[in-house]
Each structure stands twice: as C-alpha cells, then as structure tokens.
C-alpha cells in the first residue's frame, strides 16, 4: 500500500486537519509519547480530540524497509480486524503510509479519543478505589477476559496485552488499543503465545487483585466453572513466566546492565547488610559498567556508586575503596564514606554522604581553577596521583573543594609522573586559557606542592601531547554512543546527536528534509541546501549535502560525507577554543558501507558576516574591535596549525565581538609545519581577495594576520 485514506463519515473539520500525510506530519500539538520509532500527538478539532501516531522508521531491522510490512500498517490493520471481530477499539479516522524507491519512508494513523476514559494501568498506579469495588470490577474483568478469549479464538495473540493497552470509560466499557506487534500463530507456538498474553495481564493484576479475583478472571476467560488438568497446566505455565522474570530480577547487576542508560527510577536495591538503597535519580551512567545515583539509605541522603560490570566490578570497587582510604589517610578532603559492600545477587556498591548543592569547578573561573591546581599539588605532595585528572573529579561544596572518584587514585612518587599528571590537568583548558592562566595556576600548584621543581619546556611539551590525546579521544566519542553523544547506527542510516539535546532534536533528526522545506532558505545550491528552522522558537540551521547525480553518488559513496567532516571539524574547533556555532546533530543516509545524502544541524549564529560588517568602512579604516577579532581568530588557527580551505568573508560571522567560522568541510589540522604553511598561504590569499579593490582595508587586514 502507498497512500492516505480517510474513514467515511468523519467531520469535515477533521477531514481537513488530517487531509494527507504531509498535513499530518507538520501538525504541532501536545506530545503524548515518543520513542525511537513513533511520535504520538493529541490534537483537538472542533472540541473533539484525536490521537495521531506518526512513524518515520522501522527500528533496528532496516531490511524490513524493503522486505517487511511496516509497524504502522500492522497497527491499523489490527485495529480494523478487532472491530470486525466485535472487540471495542477507538474509531480509526485516517491511515496510510508512503514509500520511496520501494522502501518505507513514513506512515501515520489517526484515532478518535474515547471520552472520559483511562487505561487500567493508570488506575492501578493511582490506587483508584473502583478496582476494589467488586460491583465495578467484575463486569470490567469479564470484558477483558472476553477480549482476550476472542483474540485467541482467532489464533491471534496481542504480544503486549498489558493493562496500559486497555481503556475503560465512565460507563465501564473496555476498549483495546495499540497493537503494532500482534499477529497470528499456529501450534505448537500458539499455546505459548497465549500464555504470554495472559501472563502480561496477570503482571499488574497480581499486585492489585486477590488470588480469588485472578482465578475468577481465568475462569471467565476459559468460560468454565472449575479448572481441569489442561487449565492447571496452562496456569502453571503462566506463573512460570513470572517466576523466570523474578529470578532474573534477583540479580540487580544483571538488570542494571540490561537497562543500559535507562535504568529505572525510583528503584530499590537490596544490600548485603540487609538494608535497602532507594535510588531516586541517576546522575551518571557508564552503561554495563558503572552507575552513580542519588538516593536514600537508612533515612539519610546518599550518593551511590554501583559497580555492575560482568567482569571487573569487584576490582574497580576495591580500587574505589582503596582510593578513598588513601585520601583519608593523607588528610585530603573527600566525601565521607558511609557503607561499601556487595549488592544482593551480584555487583558492588559504595555509599557516601550526599553533598547538597555541590558542583564541579567552573573552567572559566580563575579562582576555582586555582583551588583545583592547589589541590593537585597537595595530592602530588602526598605521593598520590589522580590518573584521570579533570574538573569532574573535584567538587565544590560551599567554600570546600573535595576530591572524588577514588577509583582513579594511586600512589606515585616519580617526578616524571607528577609532571605528566599536571600537564593532563592543564590540557583540560583551552589553549588560550592555558596560556593566559599558566603562571597563576602554576603558582597555585606550588602552594600545594612547593618542593617540586617544574621544568617549563618539558611541561609545555607534555601539555601538547596530553591535549592531542584528549582531542583524538573526544573526536572518537563524537561518532560513538557515549555520555556526550547519542549514536544510532543502522545499515541504512547513521545519526549522532548531542545527548543533552537528543529529545528536543528528535523531530528534526527523524525528518530533516521536512523541516528544511518548512524553514527559511539560506542557500539553495546544487551541492548544498541550507535552511534556518525554529523548533519551539529556537533558531537552528540544517545543512543538507546534496547528491547531484549518479556519478557524484559513486564518487561520494566510499568517503566520509561533507557533513561528517564538518561535524568533526566543528567539534575540533570548539575543543580548541575557536568559535564556531555548536554542532548538534549529524545524519547520514547509508546503504551498508556506502554513504549518500547527509545533514548537519547546528545552532544559528545571527551576526553579520565579515564582508557585511566591514562594508560601511569601505575606503576607510576598520574598527579596532573587528581588527582585533580577526587577529585573535587567525592567531588561534595558526597556533593549532589549522587551515580552513575556503576562507571567504561570508564564512566568518561576527557575533558579540568574536568571529565564528562556518563551512568547515575542507578544514584540516596539519601534523607538519611545512604542510600547514602551504595551506595557510592559500587561506591567507583567499581571505584577502575579499577586499582586493580596497587598498586601505586590505593593508589593515593584512597587518592583522600572522605572517605567511
């Protein structure tokens, strides 16, 4: 199927609002739910509400784009099937999908809201009194049993028959919703799938209903007055499904490993001393290895560090405990450890006092940086190193600076190791901050470790080496899933999104072309299309690298896209303290290893470009502030041995006295001075050519540039 259908007899206003897929996919309404596959909205039309569920992908099985039936089609077909079988469902108002080149592109369905209804799971969470009222509950349970029986009589199993997918209205009528994964089964698999459906219903029921009520439900389902041998066998199978799940849940470490970055909160964890830890929120996650969260233990607020790796959790736990003990023994400030031990069933924990209002030192505060460097000196004077020293391993609580992360603490007495460790701390700062604050921070370090003689040339070389290693590691993180970036890599699509912006950017990442069409065009060229968009009133830029033809597609297929190169280049510049709009998301269309069209989403820089900023001063001297901005930018590029490759004035945006660099797909950082000089001469000539007809401005700008 390829198209859009409206159900007969719907209101004209609704028919206009849901006229076609394009109209449905630009609706801006209240978000009900969102996941990696679908986005559900609630839309009101003439006082009546509708649910719009939009699909723009097929998840982790991209071959289904060409071979399988899309989930959205399963969902509307199942809703229509239920209606044919006499099962109450929301009215289907509109549905359809779109394919491009034989592949699923997008789809949606629209259902009418069932007024004054709530799902059974919500009633259970709220402790609704009606669930304890047998006069209300018995007919509701009988309807649920009839729905399940009717599904299974047709050899159809829902696959997600949970209380959240059962709505009940004010009159007590039950409706079945949301079935994109259900299907038909045959023996011998049918009986197991039936047991799974019934177990899903019983999952919530066992916490809300008595055993007698649950047994009555099964008898209603089976339409019997007493159980026979086959029924007892089925019930044992249903309960066994829960027992297996419970046994798996007995090992917290395994459950937390499986949860990845999405460990549930709030949650209770049993500790080896018989007490329980209530985790209220997670603060940091290293999926499958380590979790840090805030919670309560024995009535007090605690910071919990959980070691959950399948291998090595005990080793890292012991290192954490040993590091804390070393810091305490040397009289260095560290949060007080309250408890440490094993989680019931596997894994390890360390609980320390929770410091309300504590924060990491700011990288732009000279005073706070001085505290950190003085503390590093104290660590070294005490014969200790923090192997992974960075600002995140120190916290400010009031006027106190404390050391955290005992796992990284180790004894070390060699001067070479101390110098390298100090260089690593300096490398956390941008090159400009490092140069301007070096003397102040070295003085602070010497207050903590006055006996250590620092060889400045050796320190400078070590800082450069440490910064290069950090940059390489950071650029690697830009294209893999980590705490900073959310990466989704499939055979047909790759995306990397700043994790703190992932939820906000999800609609743009799902449909960048649709947003480009709706946005304000900044450039419509053969090689690139650029548009300004304003989701939620925030100004962003989407740049699409186009494929101009078959020959161009072949030439680009085996190389990183220009968006990929721009993504890494922008992060490189920002890491080095060189101004460029923040890159937010990279998207590439792929076919296995072959790359096609690509998109880059960045923040919008609103200032004039350098040519526009200097236009009022043609034939005259440029303002000193602009000349200073030019000098500062080119000095930074020269120090980092970076060439741009296309230094038109239109690629330099003046914003608040700072020049921001754009169009980075040809940007390169050179390993050798000779290679950089050749590229720099070309950049310099291209930059000055912007003012070839204005001798006075040309001389002034040329004087502001580093020598060729």
pLDDT tens-digit map of 58-75:
555 555 545 568 888 889
* DSSP, res 656: T
pTM of the full predicted structure?
A: 0.65
Question: What fold, for 610-704?
Answer: Transferase(Phosphotransferase); domain 1 (1.10.510)
Residue 246 has pLDDT above 50, yes or no: no
pLDDT (tens digit per residue) in 62-113: 555 455 688 888 899 999 999 999 999 999 999 999 888 778 888 999 999 9
Residue 1 confidence class, pLDDT cut points 50, 70, 90: low
pLDDT at 32 over 80: yes
According to the CATH classification, is domain 3-112 in 3.90.1300.10? Answer: no
Regarding the domain with residue range 252-353, which homologous superfamily does it belong to in the CATH classification?
Answer: Phosphorylase Kinase; domain 1 (3.30.200.20)
Q: Where are the domains of the chain?
A: 3-112, 118-249, 252-353, 366-472, 485-603, 610-704
Do the domains 3-112 and 610-704 sit in the same CATH topology, yes or no? Answer: no
* Backbone conformation region of residue 324, classed left if phi is above 0, alpha if psi is from -120 to 50, else beta: alpha
Structure tokens at 59: 């998840």
Pick from 373, 392, 458: nearest CA to 419: 458
Homologous superfamily in CATH for domain 366-472: Transferase(Phosphotransferase) domain 1 (1.10.510.10)
CA-CA distance, 242 to 93, in Å (whole number)? 38
Topology of domain 118-249 in CATH is Transferase(Phosphotransferase); domain 1 (1.10.510)
* Contact predicate 195/185, CB 8 Å: no
Residue 57: name the closest of 103, 101, 8 by CA.
103
User: Contact 519/533 with Cβ under 8 angstroms?
Assistant: yes
Kindly state the percentage of the chain with pLDDT values over 70: 96
Phi, psi of 163 (to 5 degrees): -60, -30
pLDDT 10s digits, 659-701: 999 999 999 999 888 999 999 999 999 999 988 878 888 888 8
Mean model confidence pLDDT for the chain: 89
Tell me the CB-side half-sphere exposure of residue 36, using CA atoms within 13 A.
Answer: 10
pLDDT digits (tens, 9 = 90+) for 559-578: 889 999 999 999 999 999 99
Helical H segments across 532-672, by residue range: 550-557, 562-575, 610-614, 624-639
| 222: three-class secondary structure by DSSP | helix
579 pLDDT more than 90: yes
- Distance from C-alpha of 494 to C-alpha of 499, rounded to nearest angstrom: 15
CA distance 38 to 550: 33
Q: Domain 485-603: which topology? A: Phosphorylase Kinase; domain 1 (3.30.200)
In eight-state DSSP terms, residue 139 is: H
Q: Enumerate the β-bridge partners of residue 306.
A: 291, 349
Helix axes 431-448, 415-426, angle to 10 degrees: 140
């Amino acid at each position: 199927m390829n198209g859009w259908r409206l159900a007969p007899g719907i209101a004209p206003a609704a028919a206009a609002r849901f006229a076609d897929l394009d109209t449905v996919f630009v609706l801006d309404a209240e978000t009900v739910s969102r996941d990696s596959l679908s986005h559900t909205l609630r839309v009101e039309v003439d006082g009546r509400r509708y649910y719009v569920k939009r699909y723009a992908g097929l998840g982790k099985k991209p071959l289904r784009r060409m071979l399988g039936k899309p989930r959205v089609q399963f969902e509307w077909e199942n809703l229509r099937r239920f209606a044919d079988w006499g099962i109450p469902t929301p009215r289907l108002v509109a549905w359809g999908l779109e394919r491009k080149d034989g592949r699923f592109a997008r789809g949606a369905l629209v259902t009418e809201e069932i007024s004054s209804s709530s799902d059974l799971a919500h009633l259970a969470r709220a402790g609704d009194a009606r669930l304890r009222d047998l006069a209300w509950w018995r007919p509701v349970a009988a309807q649920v049993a009839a729905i399940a029986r009717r599904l299974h009589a047709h050899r159809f199993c829902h696959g997600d028959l949970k209380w959240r997918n059962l709505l009940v209205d004010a009159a007590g009528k039950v409706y079945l919703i949301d079935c994109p994964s259900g299907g038909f089964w045959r023996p011998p698999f049918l009986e197991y799938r039936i047991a799974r459906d019934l177990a899903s219903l019983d999952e919530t029921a066992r916490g809300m209903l008595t055993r007698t009520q649950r047994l009555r439900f099964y008898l209603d389902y089976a339409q019997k007055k007493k159980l026979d041998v086959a029924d007892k066998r089925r019930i044992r199978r249903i309960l066994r499904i829960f027992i297996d799940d419970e046994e798996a849940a007995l090992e917290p470490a395994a459950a937390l490993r499986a949860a990845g970055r999405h460990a549930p909160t709030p949650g209770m964890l049993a500790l080896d001393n018989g007490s329980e830890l209530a985790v209220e929120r997670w603060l940091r996650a290293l999926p499958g290895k380590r979790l840090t969260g805030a919670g309560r233990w024995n009535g007090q607020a605690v910071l919990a560090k959980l070691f959950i790796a399948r291998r090595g959790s005990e080793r890292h736990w012991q290192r954490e405990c040993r590091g804390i003990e070393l810091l305490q023994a040397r009289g260095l400030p560290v949060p007080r450890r309250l408890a440490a031990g094993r989680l019931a069933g596997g894994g390890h924990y360390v609980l320390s006092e929770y410091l309300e209002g504590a924060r990491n030192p700011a990288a732009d505060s000279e005073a706070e940086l001085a505290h950190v460097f003085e503390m590093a000196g104290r660590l070294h004077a005490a014969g200790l190193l923090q192997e992974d020293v960075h600002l995140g391993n120190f916290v400010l609580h009031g006027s106190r600076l404390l050391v955290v992360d005992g796992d990284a603490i180790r004894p070390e007495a060699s001067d070479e190791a101390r110098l390298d460790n100090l260089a690593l701390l300096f490398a956390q700062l941008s090159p400009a901050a490092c140069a301007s604050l070096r003397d102040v921070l070295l003085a602070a370090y010497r207050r903590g470790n006055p006996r250590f003689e620092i060889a400045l040339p050796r320190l400078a070389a070590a800082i450069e080496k440490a910064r290069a290693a950090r940059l390489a590691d950071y650029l690697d993180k830009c294209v893999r899933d980590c705490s900073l970036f959310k990466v989704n890599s499939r055979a047909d699509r790759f995306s990397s999104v700043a994790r703190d912006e992932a939820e906000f950017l999800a609609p743009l990442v799902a449909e960048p072309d649709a947003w480009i069409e709706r946005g304000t065009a900044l450039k419509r060229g053969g090689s690139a299309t650029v548009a300004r968009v304003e989701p939620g009133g925030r100004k962003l830029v989407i740049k699409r690298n186009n494929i101009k033809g078959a020959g161009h597609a072949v030439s680009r297929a085996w190389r990183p896209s220009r968006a990929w190169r721009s993504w890494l280049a922008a992060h490189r510049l920002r890491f080095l303290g060189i101004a460029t709009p923040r890159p937010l998301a990279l998207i590439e269309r792929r076919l296995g290893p072959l790359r096609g069209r690509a998109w880059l989403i960045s923040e919008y820089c609103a200032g004039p470009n350098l040519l526009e900023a200097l236009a009022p001063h043609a034939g005259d001297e440029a303002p000193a502030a602009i000349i200073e901005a030019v000098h500062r930018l080119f000095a930074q590029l020269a120090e980092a041995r970076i060439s741009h490759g296309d230094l038109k004035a239109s690629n330099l945006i003046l914003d608040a006295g700072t020049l921001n660099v754009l169009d980075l797909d040809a940007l390169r950082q050179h390993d050798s001075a000779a290679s950089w000089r050749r590229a720099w001469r070309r950049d310099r000539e291209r930059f000055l050519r912007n003012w070839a007809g204005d001798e006075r401005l040309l001389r002034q700008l040329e004087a502001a540039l580093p020598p060729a």
